[in-house]
Structure 1
């Protein structure tokens, strides 16, 4: 079996690979985690795509659970039926199947080709929506296997008024006297790095492994050299201008790393005036106090200035560029997950 797990394993990336296989003439099935209890390394909504050769992309668990899902997916493609698999694992055997401790996971396996297949245009719509950095939703009737696409949460809530009022998350819910599965697709988190310095060279590959889309902004050509950030977009221009073009949204983090007010401040002013969920800047407490006064003098509101994470990063005693990068990425993830 070919394992494409080195590729991004977000649900959208998995759908992209599944659609690519379809265009190449393969039979394809999708496996989706619909519910978890106890410990599970993959959240509800996690996906894997499998084709008839046994090649797969993504992950729904690990160990023998993954193997069993692949086998069931091959059978589902052959017979054209959907099914829900449930795995109940005791604490004693949890490690062998990829669970940290005992738990139960339910996984829905659906063929994308053949009799009973779900129409691929729904998944095309998901990929297109995420490409435009717009969230979208799929709702599956678990009894009939009907899947519907929703472009907005407002439309979804209008059709299912019993959904929780807070942030929507993937999972099974009850409505109209039956069960449904909601899968939530969000644009990837973005990280805009102001300054192509050494710490940035450590931070960028770490953030890529964590699933961030990265853009480096650096107006100094020597620091913006392609060899310093291979395969990563680098904008060679003023940080304020670049932020205007990049338009940070609520799934964007911005970090200023040059330690040079002339280079950092224009970008910080633009970032603090945006919906970016995290804005951080390198520097000591004294540097931050000076930066704070400058930003206020430039007309940045007090509330906006107080959004700035500076000194940047979690206080883990980081000393080397690599350790500082770890502390920065850890703080970004903590804030994004509502823990910071």
Structure 2
């Protein structure tokens, strides 16, 4: 049964069977990585490399109980102290920067566990205040190595399929030269570490099925314990907005802040310079056939034209969008539902249709409506209910 990712062999579909492939877009995968932050780290890496400044990468590889950031959060640290990204809400960054600079100086990776489960964070000299345990890996970056962690991140950011990245975090002395380096291919990883390929496969499958990265514990050569980070990296959300009015520009502002790709379908003569500047790509209505949906793509109808919205829903519905929203009152959608059903479309059996669109936050202005739309898309893609955190039992993440 194949699993995703160039680090587990050749790149393959995220599913193990045709049945799962067909259901992929109807059940959006849970997303965990901040692709916007990863792109910023890559840009900073390129800049520092050009300036011949040495650097290290701090990566959250383990989290227990409460933590502001999750596994996979990263911060790139230059030898001169410049930083991009983050591994906490600000309480770890100062200490982490110093440890990253030490890793640069010693050219040796290291691990630090920030543990405040007992609430006594004074012992490590920082104020966490979140009663959790965060494990951070500090890796010096060799810019001459085409397979250093940042270069590997670069190789996956533009793919639209999920990727799995595996790194050795802890192990016996004989494997210290592999710590912090991305490892490729299950068979090769098993050969180099002594880990059972079957156990590695099970751990990878657990990550891909749940959509959550994890720090796995394995038995290596002669039963020596070791830990590997198995991280699932997914592409940024792509949003297709059908419409060319001013409220689409408000949506563009929000998607820019989130780091999403915004593609807009509308009447080309109505696309102003602002549309060109704030969107990823513009399409005329006659070019809509160029757009293909995947499991990370949301679709919102906001043309304010009943016939156009209906035609676009009829066009995209066979692709089973992971999220399909439509502006307008409930009665408008009910009428369209009846007409499309009469024309042979099964909207009743499609669970990812949202109309009226957006979370109920009392939105009135175009900007507030855009925020409500993006919030609802996020809840669907993260498989969360979208309620208030104060009402949630257990941990936030």
Retained in 1: the 8 A contact 2:114–2:133? yes
Equivalent position to 1:36, from 63, 86, 90: 63
Distance in 1 between the 2:128 and 2:297 partners?
A: 31
Residue aligning to 1:3: none
Counterparts in 2 of 1:235 and 1:150: CA distance versus 1, 3 Å: farther
**How far is 1:338 from its partner?**
0.5
Equivalent position to 1:230, from 277, 287, 299: 277
Residue aligning to 2:213: 170
**How far is 1:131 from its partner?**
1.1
Counterparts in 2 of 1:201 and 1:271: CA distance versus 1, 3 Å: same
1:172-321 to structure 2, matched below 5 A, reads 172-176=215-219, 177-222=225-270, 224-228=271-275, 230-238=277-285, 241-242=287-288, 244-303=289-348, 305-321=350-366
1:70 matched to 2:97: yes
Residue aligning to 1:325: 370
Distance in 1 between the 2:127 and 2:334 partners?
A: 47
Secondary structure of 2:379's partner? helix
Retained in 2: the 8 A contact 1:16–1:127? no
1:59 matched to 2:86: yes
Range 82-91 or range 227-236, more displaced: 227-236
Secondary structure of 2:353's partner? coil
Distance in 1 between the 2:147 and 2:107 partners?
A: 15
Distance in 2 between the 1:292 and 1:336 partners?
A: 24
Higher relative contact order (CA 8 A, sep 6+): 2
Per-residue CA deviations over 1:263-289 (Å, capped at 9, x if unaligned) read 222332333222532110011111011
**How far is 1:36 from its partner?**
1.3
Equivalent position to 1:136, from 163, 166, 177: 163
**How far is 1:305 from its partner?**
4.8
Q: When the two structures are superposed, what TM-score results if normalisation uses the length of structure 1?
A: 0.84
Retained in 1: the 8 A contact 2:296–2:322? yes
Counterparts in 2 of 1:24 and 1:139: CA distance versus 1, 3 Å: same
Counterparts in 2 of 1:266 and 1:8: CA distance versus 1, 3 Å: same
Retained in 1: the 8 A contact 2:263–2:279? yes
Equivalent position to 2:52, from 25, 28, 36: 25
**How far is 1:220 from its partner?**
4.6
Equivalent position to 1:50, from 68, 77, 99: 77
1:92-131 to structure 2, matched below 5 A, reads 101-113=130-142, 120=147, 123-131=150-158
**How far is 1:26 from its partner?**
2.3
